[in-house]
Chains A and B, each alone.
Chain A
Amino acid sequence: MRMKQTRRNPLAFIDTLPNPKLFRMGALITAAIVLLVLIGLVWMPYEPTAMSADQMQGISASHLLGTDKMGRDILSRVMYGSRITLVVALGTMVIGAGLGVLIGAATGFYGGMADEIVMRIMDGLFAFPNVLLALVVVSLLGSSTVHMIWALGIAFIPSFTRVVRSEYIRCKHLDYVKNARLQGASDARVIFVHILPNVSGVLLSNLMIGFNNAVLAEAGLSFLGIGSQPPYASLGQMISDAQAYFFEVPTAVLGPGLVIVLLVLSFSLMGEGLRSAAKELD
């Protein structure tokens, strides 16, 4: 009598996507970078902050990506820097998307005067440039990775709120929602169990784009000197430091740069894989 749900291969969903090839490519690259970071948690060729006499060395057997101005191994620094970039990007998404979805769902579902007020606040926040907001937070609280996450996270809330809110406004009038309420489901249940899965399609796309923006924002901000402080540098910071001697040790810039590019590319590919290609018009 029991309704059996046959356990299927969890990765089988990839085949149901509009564009599985792109998604797989993106997922692979992301996996490679994540692997790099994970390895870095337990082992790195050298200490990222260990200075040495071998300064400004090019690619060699002992230093796969060479060394920087202070003799630090670039590969190790890239492994460490990627960790910071990922942490910041993910942290930003947790705050930005997490809070954004909650606020958007609530305000979209309930509407009314509160909705108007919340959206005007969001508009104000949205109009504020990320950089300025980060500067404000940093000047108030001091520059560090955690503060960067908060600053960017808050800056990202409005776009998620907006997207989720419009989906909720669209869905809340549909018959299945009315039905759920008539059956006696609580508001919270309707919002999270009934409507949210319908919103997740759009949300996922936005999460991919958001992640990319977070990576780039972090890189940009740390390039400007806000955020993680030396000697523990994030990828953006490494680029900033090394741009002066780019021609002498190009890997000092290309190393971190490549990781950023690959990270953004891979997420874009996954995002594309989730979207169906536009139908060809006659």
Chain B
Amino acid sequence: MAKTIVQMGGIYETGAELGGNVLEVDRLDVFYRERTRILRPAKTLQRALHEVSFSIGAGEIVGLCGESGCGKTTLSKAVCGIVPTFQGRISLAHERPQMVFQDPFGSLNPVKRIGWLLEEPLRVDRMRTWSAAERAERVAEVIEQVELERSLLGRFPAELSGGQRQRVAIAAAIMRKPRFLIADEPVSALDVTIQKQVLELIASLHERMGLSMLFISHDLRVVYQVCDRVMIMREGRILEQGPVGDIYRFPQHEYTSVLLAAAGLEQRRSKRDATA
């Protein structure tokens, strides 16, 4: 129900009527400009994203794969509404999405206790006011869902392990019962065994809450584990997108094949040619 038109004519709307989709991105171009300084005029505009178009349906987990600098972060920022210079349309069926960041450093405020951090999304909730009792109740509910011990509420982030911190981040993100979430490399900084646990948690939450997600990761194996569909990104463009199994088995682009090979998932050419 809220539509913003940014400087360059791009449209960002929340609460839109999108049929069965939670997110629709239509021909998105994102630009950025060097910071203006006195006596040093800004350089020409650079384009970070080129004509990006995709949609995410209710209950879908869509993966976004690419290497550093390909524009994954810019895209997630744009979908969250913190990029002011874009053209095209970004429409969300609900409110602005919450994000789960890649720990370990910096995603939880180091001087605040876990309990405080978990209550914060409820304190600044613009949709409704939560009383102290309601907040405590909701927090207790969520930490049970993410399998965190209640004793951790009084601790500081530095006292938690990487896996526990990530659970806190996930808990904070689902505190307001969102329908759509963005996860930016949520397990990349975790040990393999912890990774597995957190991925299982994400999968179970997805099932329980019907959560849709944009799941950003450079790890193709992890994407295979959680995502229904995947988008391959390079230099600001989406090279191809489709169901995970299809893309992995029959990559259309050279670059996708390169990524698959690097992840040790290369398919023998004969199989691909056979079904071409």
Contact = CB atoms under 8 A, between A and B. Distances in A.
Contact of A1 (B35, B110, B140): B140
B201 interface: no
Contact of A176 (B106, B121, B125, B136): B106
Given A176-B107, A197-B112, A184 B126 contact: yes
B50 interface: no
A181 B106 contact: no
B38 interface: yes
26 contacts: A1-B133, A1-B136, A3-B115, A3-B154, A5-B154, A111-B35, A112-B36, A113-B38, A116-B37, A116-B38, A174-B106, A175-B102, A175-B106, A175-B107, A178-B82, A178-B101, A180-B120, A181-B82, A182-B96, A182-B99, A183-B98, A184-B124, A185-B120, A197-B111, A198-B110, A198-B111
Contacts of A183: 98, 120-121, 124, 172
Chain A interface extent, by class:
20 to 34
Nearest to A200: B111
Chain B interface extent, by class:
20 to 34
Given A2-B136, A113-B36, A175-B101, 19 more contacts: A1-B133, A1-B136, A2-B133, A3-B115, A3-B153, A116-B38, A176-B107, A178-B82, A179-B99, A180-B109, A182-B80, A183-B121, A184-B124, A184-B125, A184-B126, A186-B124, A189-B124, A194-B112, A197-B112
Nearest to A4: B154
B247 interface: no
A55 B271 CA distance: 110
Nearest to B139: A3
Interface in B17-50: 35-38
Nearest to B115: A3
A175 to B, nearest CB: 4
Nearest to A181: B82
Nearest to A5: B154
A178 B83 CA distance: 12
Interface of A: 1-3, 5, 111-113, 116, 174-176, 178-186, 189, 194, 197-198
A189 B124 CA distance: 9
Nearest to B157: A176
B137 A1 contact: yes
A5 B153 CA distance: 10
B142 interface: no
A179 B37 contact: no
Contacts of B124: 183-186, 189
A180 B80 CA distance: 13
B108 interface: yes
Contacts of A179: 99, 101, 107, 172
> Residue among A1, A182, A185, A198 with the most chain B CB within 10 A?
A182
A198 B125 CA distance: 23
A20 to B, nearest CB: 20
Given A113-B36, A181-B82, A194 B125 contact: no
Contacts of A2: 133, 136
